[in-house]
Amino acid sequence: MSLFNPLPVTRRPTKQEIQHLYHLFLKTSKAFSNYNFREYFLRKAKHDFEQRNKLTEDKDIINSYNQALKDYAVLKRQSAISQMYKFDQNVVEANPLFHHHQIKDD
């Protein structure tokens, strides 16, 4: 099934599908040229998927996954727009001492 076709209401996504979508969120978030947007979307992706991992009901998992697919489509479009505009590095990006907090791929 295509990543952009939401799952039928009766089918629960597999762990591999959820992990793949999570990694796509991280990869796309890292593509933002602006530091503040990039860090925000990395934190948001991590937080949202941590919350989704707590869901137990099939209906909730399916709805959450379908919403994540829609959110990913928006994130991907916004990332492409962001890459059209280049910004100077801010103080945090320019100083290597501040890079210790960045989110790593799981």
Given a cut of 80, is residue 106 above it in pLDDT? Answer: no
Does the reported pTM lie above 0.85? no
How high is the pLDDT of residue 33?
A: 84
How high is the pLDDT of residue 88?
A: 72
Name the more confident of 97 and 65: 65
Q: How far apart are CA 21 and CA 68, in angstroms?
A: 8
Question: Contact, 56 vs 106, CB < 8 A?
Answer: no
Q: What is the pLDDT of residues 32-60, one digit of tens each?
A: 988 889 999 999 999 999 999 999 999 99
Give the pLDDT band (50/70/90) at residue 86: confident
**Which whole number is the average pLDDT over 2-30?**
83
Q: How far apart are CA 66 and CA 72, in angstroms?
A: 10
